[in-house]
């Protein structure tokens, strides 16, 4: 006797026998996919039409009273494929085990879509989900909806943190991609049952209704957006007309007075281009600046209240005003400031120049620096810390005596440069195609006239902008390394000392004996030198490539760098500590080269090769 129970909750068939069945029956059960469960002592399998037919073929079958063979459930595929009810399961459960996640996905999809044959597996931190068989065509809307649901549900257990700009991606798992859940090469469309055909027709009808409703909704939203856009256009037109009226009123209601004085210590927001005074007052961070006033703009209270809301509008009384200036004698043009290092720049004092002071009923309220434009590009607030002074002299940087001395040397250099250009027929291209020749001639002249050595302060005093730019090149850009090696005339067996950066950014001075010198291209450098040498106390030969991208000094002979130039002692009260030292410089600080050069110059030793900076 065989008893069959239909387990609707698990969509399964359970078969029990009152005695052990014959061998051929057991083989039929296994062939039809039934498995034996020891504890409940039953055979079980998922419900399919083939299995139900197989059971009915037995003559001696008893179906339990509460579980008569049920008709297949009529699925609403449209509702089953809606994804709006899927929660953020990663945030809800924080499951990181791909094995556990794969089991959850497998159980859910097989239960939700039993008409599909699924394969869901995991490999390391990857999960593969595929539909192998279903009654739907591969390009059907039904299958697309099932695939989208499967992808969305799987990703609800994932967390993806990625940064494409840094090639970074971190996720709980990889592998479930919407485009790969169904693959043409391993997908089979089986024949539809009557129930599945009804399901498909119901889905198509629901989708048509949904698409129709969506189309109507979008059309309605479009019409509403058009109405809002028209209303906003009308409002914007009204605002533009009001703005035009207000600007015209401001333009016709001010008094302008030419003046010359300073407003000191105005309150300057770290952000500029604010459209209204309210925006400026909302800033939390401010600094203090000084302004030289060239105009006073006087408004009545009503007009001033309008002006402070139109700071980004163009006004004739601001046109062409503004700028920055300094009393520093080292700065003759912005080129001089740009050639300064960070420490020098910090010593330059700037102030706002040619500014407009804004008054309300004869009370100073604002200072504006249009920076050459016609609107209030920089607006400064006047408060109780602000002072008005008739005269102000900023930091001069150097004394008048030093400035005049530099000016005299600069004038002589200009005259010498012009004389060289004319006498050697360098023509108008003396600073382009003929620059190398002009540089060599100018360097020779400077070497023969050491009184007129072109320091940075001297070059700053040069008035001709073109000549100034070339002199900056001459005093800051060393000759090509190949030219310097050729000019140095190094030979095999010569002992030299090299000063260069170590891998840790400090200066080292290896002592070597030259074996050979080759010239060629190295990495991105078209001109480089391959130096083969034998280090001090070494028997083997070594080689290195050198180029202008990495500064170096080469001294003739073997010389030592006093340790005190780069290191300093740290006093210690601990008797167990022999000595402690610390470096005077940070890693790769190029000022270390300046210290070395100054020291050796003081004792009459000059490098024969210097790719750090020119010396005259």
Tens of pLDDT along 217-236? 999 999 999 999 999 999 99
The predicted structure's pLDDT at residue 471: 95
Looking at residue 166, its pLDDT comes to: 66
Mean pLDDT calculated for residue range 54-75: 56
Token readout for 93 is 């459960």
Contact present, 367 and 329 (Cβ < 8 Å)? no
Dist CA 129 CA 127 (whole Å): 7
What does DSSP assign to residue 478?
P
* Range 84-112 average pLDDT: 93
pLDDT tens for 117-136 read: 999 999 999 999 999 999 99
pLDDT digits (tens, 9 = 90+) for 372-414: 999 999 999 999 999 999 999 999 999 999 999 999 999 999 9
Q: Is the entire prediction scored with pTM above 0.75?
A: no
Question: Would you put residue 557 in left (φ > 0), alpha (ψ -120 to 50) or beta?
Answer: left
**pLDDT tens, position by position, 273-309:** 889 999 998 888 899 999 999 999 999 999 999 999 9
pLDDT per position as a tens digit, 470-481: 999 999 999 889
- Contact between 339 and 279 (Cβ < 8 Å): no
pLDDT at 64: 54
pLDDT of residue 384: 94
The arrangement of strands across the sheet holding 188-189 comes to 117-123, 126-134, 188-189
Give the pLDDT confidence score for residue 554 in this predicted structure.
96
Averaged pLDDT, 188-210: 93
What is the length of the chain?
616
The pLDDT assigned to 61 comes to 60
Pick the closest to residue 81 from 235, 218, 244, 203 (CA basis). Answer: 203
Q: Assess whether pLDDT exceeds 60 at residue 350.
A: yes
- Identify the pLDDT of residue 248: 96
Residue 170, pLDDT score:
82
Q: What per-residue confidence (pLDDT) applies to 165?
A: 65
Taking residues 310-333, report their average pLDDT. 95
Give 65-83 pLDDT, tens digit per residue.
Answer: 444 433 444 679 999 999 9
pLDDT at 556 over 90: yes
Q: What is the mean pLDDT of residues 314-332?
A: 95
């Amino acid at each position: 006797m065989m008893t069959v129970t239909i387990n609707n909750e698990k969509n399964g068939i359970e078969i029990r026998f009152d005695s052990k069945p014959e061998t051929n029956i057991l083989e039929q059960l296994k062939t039809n996919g039934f498995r034996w469960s020891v504890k409940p002592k039953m055979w079980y399998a998922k419900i399919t039409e083939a299995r139900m037919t197989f059971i009915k073929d037995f003559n001696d079958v008893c179906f339990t009273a509460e579980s008569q063979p049920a008709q297949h459930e009529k699925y609403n595929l449209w509702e089953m494929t809606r994804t709006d009810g899927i929660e953020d399961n990663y945030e809800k459960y924080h499951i990181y085990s791909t094995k556990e996640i794969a089991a959850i996905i497998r159980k859910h999809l097989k239960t939700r879509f039993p008409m599909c044959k699924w394969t869901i597996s995991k490999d390391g931190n990857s999960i593969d989900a595929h539909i192998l068989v279903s009654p739907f065509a591969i390009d059907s809307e039904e299958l697309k909806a099932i695939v989208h649901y499967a992808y969305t549900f799987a990703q609800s257990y994932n967390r993806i943190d990625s940064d494409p700009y840094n090639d970074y991606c971190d996720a709980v798992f990889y592998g479930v991609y919407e485009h790969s859940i169904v693959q043409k090469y391993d997908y089979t469309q089986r024949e539809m049952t009557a129930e599945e055909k009804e399901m498909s027709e119901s889905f198509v009808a629901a989708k048509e209704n949904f698409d129709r409703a969506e189309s109507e909704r979008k059309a309605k939203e479009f019409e509403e957006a058009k109405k809002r856009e028209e209303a906003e256009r009308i409002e914007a037109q009204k605002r533009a007309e009001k703005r035009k009226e207000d600007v015209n009123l401001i333009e016709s209601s001010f008094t302008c007075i030419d003046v010359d004085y300073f407003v000191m210590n105005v309150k300057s927001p770290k952000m500029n281009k604010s459209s209204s005074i309210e925006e400026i007052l909302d800033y939390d961070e401010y600094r203090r600046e000084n302004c030289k006033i060239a105009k006073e703009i006087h408004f009545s209270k009503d007009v001033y209240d309008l002006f402070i809301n139109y700071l980004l509008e163009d006004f004739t009384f601001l046109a062409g005003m503004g700028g920055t200036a300094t009393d520093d004698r080292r700065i003759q043009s912005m080129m001089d400031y740009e050639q300064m290092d960070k420490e020098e720049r910090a010593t330059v004092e700037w102030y706002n120049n040619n500014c407009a002071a804004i008054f309300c009923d004869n009370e100073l309220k604002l200072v504006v620096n249009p920076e050459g434009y016609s609107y209030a590009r920089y607006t400064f607030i006047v408060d109780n810390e602000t002072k008005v002074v008739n005269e102000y002299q900023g930091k001069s940087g150097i004394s008048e005596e030093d400035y005049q001395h530099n000016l005299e040397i600069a004038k002589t250099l200009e005259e010498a440069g012009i004389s060289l250009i004319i006498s050697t027929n360098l023509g108008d291209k003396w600073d382009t195609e003929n620059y190398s020749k002009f540089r060599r001639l100018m360097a020779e002249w400077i070497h023969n006239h050491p009184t007129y050595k072109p320091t940075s302060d001297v070059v700053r005093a040069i008035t001709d902008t073109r000549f100034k730019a070339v002199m900056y090149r001459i005093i800051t850009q060393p000759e090509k390394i190949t030219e310097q090696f050729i000019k140095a005339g190094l030979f095999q067996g010569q002992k030299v000392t090299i000063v260069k950066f170590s891998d840790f950014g400090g200066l080292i001075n290896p002592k070597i004996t030259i074996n050979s010198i080759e010239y060629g291209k190295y990495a991105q450098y078209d001109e480089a030198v391959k130096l083969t040498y034998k280090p001090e106390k070494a028997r083997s030969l070594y080689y290195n490539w050198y180029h202008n991208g990495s500064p170096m000094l080469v001294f003739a002979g073997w010389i030592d760098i006093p340790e005190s130039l780069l290191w300093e002692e740290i006093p210690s009260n601990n008797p167990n500590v022999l000595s402690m030292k610390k470096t005077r410089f940070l890693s790769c600080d190029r000022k270390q080269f300046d210290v070395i050069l100054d020291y050796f110059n003081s004792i009459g030793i000059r490098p024969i090769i210097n790719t750090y900076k020119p010396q005259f």
